[in-house]
Amino acid sequence: MNTKRMWKLGDPCFILDMSVGMTHASMRVMPAIITHVGSTSGTAVIGTSFSTAKFGEQFVEGRPFVSEREAREWALGYARRVVEAAQNAPLEGVQPGWNIPEYLPQNGDVVYTLDADKQEILQVAVGMVRLEFGVPQVGYDPSPGNPECSVICMHKWWATRAEAEEHARRQHGETFAFITKEELAARTNAGIEEIFETAKRRLESPEHKNGGERP
């Protein structure tokens, strides 16, 4: 954390919001305030900013900087360190000797799974196939293409609707409702949109503008 000054709760500052992956890199400088001061020396500090972007987290936390310029200079120094590390990256490690089960579906395959709580059979698109320390896991994407959605792990899935219906009757003694992947995506998107609309209404409310209730 920044040790150039002693921060206090509520002090204005700037933070960096960074997202760096194998296929993308994004960064933004955000005005913020100090929301956490830790350690007896007061040097373990976190700043928080409220994002105005439609997607992503509403509250973003990060290490504080005194000025926008300081934040940008740190970012450039970080980029240089990343380039240096890439230029000197060693080749090491070995491939895990894990067996890949042949029954696993592929990404994009349409399968059927149960939501026992809602008594529904869901038609879904596979959005994740992975090995977690050698154990296979499969998940579905409730709304493909929506970056606000999280993949949901499936404990069981079936290749056909008929197989899923038979399992629902045998295991639960019920006839479950059937939800197509298009219906599931529409329902998911509506729920996400409602979250953003609720936050927008609170931001535009007189209570919030007058410094009262916050979302």
Got the DSSP string for 50-115? E--SSSS-SEEEE--BSSHHHHHHHHHHHHHHHHHHHHT-------------TT---TT-EEEEEE
What confidence score (pLDDT) does residue 147 get?
A: 84
Prediction pTM value: 0.57
pLDDT tens digits, one per residue of 4-60: 578 999 999 999 998 888 888 889 999 999 999 987 777 789 999 998 887 778 899
| 6, amino acid identity | M
pLDDT tens digits, one per residue of 119-178: 999 999 999 999 988 899 999 999 988 888 889 999 999 999 999 999 999 999 888 999
Kindly list the distances between the CA atom of residue 138 and the CA atoms of 5, 110, 127, in Å, as whole numbers in the listed order. 48, 12, 8
| 106, amino acid identity | Q
The mean per-residue pLDDT over the stretch 84-90 comes to: 94
Q: What is the DSSP letter of 210?
A: T
Residues 28, 26: Cα–Cα separation, whole Å = 7
Question: Which residues touch 202 (CB under 8 Å, ≥6 apart)?
Answer: 208, 213, 214, 215
Residues 85, 95: Cα–Cα separation, whole Å = 22
Output the CA torsion 202→205→207→210 (10° steps): 120
